[in-house]
A and B are shown apart, each in its own frame.
Chain A
């Protein structure tokens, strides 16, 4: 079970995914709590052209820079949009995102290695991760976890009670921008390994799954990281076994994401049970106060 990971490229793939698991656990908790799935989705559309432009300008090393610029720009624009209430306009937002995505496709299609480039941008190249890439991911992980550690308390307050947090003197606009930037940095960190499409799964599924097991935020983050780690190990092992022992080609990153989603589906009944039990507790609390008026 460990043997495949003694092969250097498999060991590097696991190390890269372990770093991503470390950041995706806590970050996904905030994506889940703030209902930022849309932001994650938007980022994958806008980071893609950034990745393509970065690659065309500076090769493999340019990808991170391109992704970083596009990601931060998107975080700023989304923060401004959501404060102006413009994000409710679904159609125009969708048009802009699709246009961004198309620009990426048009740019990449001008190259002769069009298909293979497109595939690697969309789904990543986890098996060709270099030591340098791992080092870069580690630096990003430190930055992301550092930002989260400093701002977690304020972010939690703002998420739970925006009016109360503002009244207590927290600048909610800056907190919103900060969280959007943190999410953008995760996308940047993950884009080469798992691609712009699959990173959405890493930002949403860990916390959504952990939520079914616990209601504590810190535990949710840890369980999210743990689940992603297990999915990373299992997915890599499955794709190795499939191709080495059975000659079936199974994309590693997709296998990882599939396992993560599988864990989510398996735990769904447990989450439903938990919700039912909580409902029962609300009902019994209400019974204790017979004069309750539902406002």
Chain B
């Protein structure tokens, strides 16, 4: 390890604004993530969670502030970042098998037309196996359940061996078995130094998995340990009055 302070920063956002066509969607973002850190982005629909994730990939421009990802600009860091999109953004009718989807995680390494090698196939098998889907390698992606599809997409991201893993709503429409499988793999990845950034609606999951929570809605309202950020006060301010505190100290969101 050389130059500990610099090498240790996985992601550094200082006073960052991100948005489309010069119009900011999200402002005042300050993040400082180290290897193995687990960040949950929470906030209501349209808060800018997906936009922030896409800005880390360099797919949405940073309009103001400074941003470094793994010591370089977001688009330069792309090869080292894994990305798990929302399953409903995919074409489920598309004729590919689960194994082929996971192999897509290797495409960057393989290149445009070189044939896949046994090392690639081994990685694909390992990734599927970790998520309990080794038997489904030849199953058509479209016939898998929502939770299984989500696990395939996580396997694809793992197969790329990323240092930073971004997940957009990984628990949406996911059954309990899949959620447990995903949570356990994410904890293992974090333990070996992979930094995690995930957006979620589920405050319980956020608290259970993340060591840092970032509350967003148009701007960054709070960032820090779950106990300090997932509070009735912060949530009420960020969500606009729909949070209540339970007697046992937990906070839940209620619709108006």
Residue numbers of A with Cβ under 8 A of B are 33, 149-154, 156-157, 159-170, 211, 214-217, 220, 278, 281-282, 285-286, 288-295
Contact = CB atoms under 8 A, between A and B. Distances in A.
A295 B146 contact: yes
B140 A215 contact: yes
B101 interface: yes
B256 to A, nearest CB: 22
B146 A292 contact: yes
Interface string B141-157: 01111111000010010
Given A157-B104, A167-B57, A168-B108, A285 B177 contact: no
B14 interface: no
A293 B101 contact: no
Given A153-B112, A159-B91, A168-B78, A295 B173 contact: yes
Nearest to B93: A33
A289 B177 contact: yes
B175 A292 contact: yes
Contacts of A288: 145
Given A167-B57, A169-B78, A286-B145, A157 B112 contact: no
Interface stretch (B28-36, B81-89, B191-199, B236-244): B81-89
Given A153-B112, A168-B104, A215-B140, A163 B175 contact: no
Contacts of B81: 167
Nearest to A294: B173
Contacts of A289: 145, 147-148, 175-178
17 contacts: A33-B91, A153-B112, A154-B112, A160-B101, A161-B91, A162-B89, A164-B153, A167-B59, A215-B140, A285-B148, A289-B145, A289-B177, A291-B175, A292-B145, A292-B173, A294-B146, A295-B174
Contacts of B64: none
Given A150-B112, A154-B107, A278-B143, A161 B85 contact: yes
A159 B229 CA distance: 39
Interface residues of B, number: 42
Contact of B90 (A154, A161, A217): A161
Indicate the member of A161, A165, A167, A281 with the most B CB atoms within 10 Å: A167
10 A-B pairs closest in CB distance: A295-B173, A167-B83, A291-B176, A289-B175, A215-B95, A295-B172, A291-B175, A292-B175, A281-B143, A163-B85
B27 to A, nearest CB: 23
A164 B83 contact: yes
Given A154-B112, A278-B142, A285-B143, A160 B148 contact: no
A33 B94 contact: yes
A162 B104 CA distance: 12
Contacts of A166: 57, 59
B114 to A, nearest CB: 9
A204 to B, nearest CB: 16
A167 B78 contact: yes
B31 to A, nearest CB: 19
B79 interface: yes
B204 to A, nearest CB: 14
A128 to B, nearest CB: 38
